[in-house]
Structure 1
Amino acid sequence: MVDLRFGRGLRVLRRRRGWRQADLALRAGISQSAVSRAELGRVGGLSVSALKTLADALGAQVDVRLRWQGERLDRLLDREHAALVEQFVRRLRQHQWEVAPEASFSIFGERGSVDVLAAHRPTGALLVVEVKSVIPDVQAMLVALDRKTRLAPAIAKDRGWPSTTVSKLLIVREARTARRRLAQHDATFRLVLPIRGRSIEAWLRRPRGVLAGLLFLSPTSHPGGGRRTRPESVGLRSNSRSG
């Protein structure tokens, strides 16, 4: 039934534009027979890429969702996310950081939550941590991280945490698919989040300057566990913001 509805949707959008199947095929760069099969709901032999191309030609989007035993898949994903958060919170506390997991905010009409907000009182360092068990839309993820970093001083102030610097860290669950996904945007991540590996651990112990980092972690049962990544010779930037 889902495939049939998908096909009917393509047909309705095509006719709305006054196109023939041949017109849509030309614009999408696929065969007319493929368009016909898709509109009949026979999508089994078509790639996801072809379906997305068809939808894009019609000004629509394809949203691929994986379902398993009702909401159990969501609970499994949430469990992985929670394990990563818990693991990193323990690591921060080992280094004398004050930590607020799932720090919610409502500032100037902007609402949301920070996966982990941490303050290092001796240095006035503030750290915004975004944790991802799966990689969503990369651009949206980076925009969200920047927004939370911008709002962090105000969020911290509400908690009585003064800040002199604001840093950001993206934590991603260790997996080959995640590494491949981020490798496709390597230039962007090396520009936006250049600090990696042991350089991050060193900064957590003695936060100097501003950190913008990316860290891969594997959920483990022991505090501070996780796969170590190869250190990169990237210097920390000197920058400060008043909280």
Structure 2
Amino acid sequence: MPRRRRPALAAEAERANAEQLARLGRLVRASRRTRRWTQRQLGDRCQLSQSAISLVELGRGGTLSMDAWQRVATVLERPLRVDLGQDPIQPPVDAGHLAMQELVIRLGREAGYTGHFELPTRPSDPTRSTDVGLRDDRRRRLVQVECWNRPDDFGAGMRSTDRKRAEAEAFAVSRDGGLYTVSTCWVVRATKRNRAVVANYPELFGSRFPGSSHAWVRALTDGAEPPAEPGLVWCDVAATRLFAWRRPGTAQEGLMVRAPAPLVAARQHAEQA
């Protein structure tokens, strides 16, 4: 944010103070009158002078201390709240999730796909969407990618993915009437927690995502044909690369694809847990 000149800063602060003080003054006056107190009676209860209460109600209470304001608010049983607005440069709450979607869309574009952010799976209901949709009209492919930053209910996530795939298959038709092949893959942030969950349930995840993770990495990054079966691949914590999930009992290597672009602020705030 550019630094403001001192006169401009002072004028802006003065305008903001005047608005807040005027609003607070009106609230104090209304509460005092509701109680049928005089300004002196309110001042006595707050240990302030009648003139101080008068200044408050006139919107000129800027010289009163915070302690004095708190006494007025406490006597009137109206809690005084002093707060700061949202930091304009603070990353969004879902920064980690957005960084993963950004990576998948960029890698997909480089692999020849058209990427869609939050692709609707049911045209009549835009609230139903896939995190990332990768579409290849020439080869009539539609790849649904679900990005998981910190899943708390894997079962619900799996059911949601099944529903989205069924909806996509019902509407995945090209302009000439041809059907698209719909494939599904999970991209999961490789945090310690997520790795532990997947490692603790190898049979569950192995049966749910039987597609070759190595082949899925190549499909998402090189444009290779996606496996027919759903797959799971890892995304590093900083959301800079994808690599294969090595299932227990397999010799599948962990292919890594690194993002050449520098990390954005959202990725620096990626979840570490």
Query: Which has more radius of gyration?
Result: 2
SS at match of 1:143: helix
2:228 pairs with one of 207, 210, 215: 210
Q: CA deviation at 1:202?
A: 2.6
Cα distance, 1:71–1:81 mapped onto 2, change above 3 Å: farther
SS at match of 2:244: coil
What fraction of aligned residue pairs are identical, expressed as a percent?
Answer: 22
For 1:27-66, what per-residue CA distance to the aligned partner results, in whole angstroms no more than 9, with x for missing partners? xxxxxxxxxxxxxxxxxxxxxxxxxxxxxxxxxxxxxxxx
The corresponding residue for 1:96 is 112
Q: CA deviation at 1:91?
A: 0.7
Q: Which amino acid aligns with 2:103?
A: Q
Cα distance, 1:188–1:202 mapped onto 2, change above 3 Å: same
State how many pairs are aligned. 162
1:226 pairs with one of 221, 224, 241: 241
SS at match of 1:199: helix
Taking the aligned partners of 1:136 and 1:217, their CA distance within structure 2 comes to: 17
| Structure 1 contact 172–217 (Cα < 8 Å) conserved | yes
Report which stretch shifted further, 93-102 or 212-221. 212-221
Cα distance, 1:158–1:206 mapped onto 2, change above 3 Å: closer
Cα distance, 1:160–1:111 mapped onto 2, change above 3 Å: farther
Q: Normalising by the residue count of structure 1, what TM-score does the alignment of the two structures yield?
A: 0.56
| Structure 1 contact 165–209 (Cα < 8 Å) conserved | no
| Structure 2 contact 211–228 (Cα < 8 Å) conserved | no
The corresponding residue for 1:138 is 154
The corresponding residue for 2:75 is none
1:1-243 superposed matches below 5 A? 77-106=93-122, 111-157=127-173, 163-204=179-220, 205-207=223-225, 209-218=227-236, 220=238, 225-226=240-241, 228-229=243-244
| Structure 2 contact 234–245 (Cα < 8 Å) conserved | no
Cα distance, 1:111–1:70 mapped onto 2, change above 3 Å: same
For 1:85-136, what per-residue CA distance to the aligned partner results, in whole angstroms no more than 9, with x for missing partners? 0001111111101221111344677951110112222322211111111012
Q: Which amino acid aligns with 1:125?
A: R
SS at match of 1:135: coil
Taking the aligned partners of 1:125 and 1:233, their CA distance within structure 2 comes to: 29
RMSD: 3.4
Q: Normalising by the residue count of structure 2, what TM-score does the alignment of the two structures yield?
A: 0.50
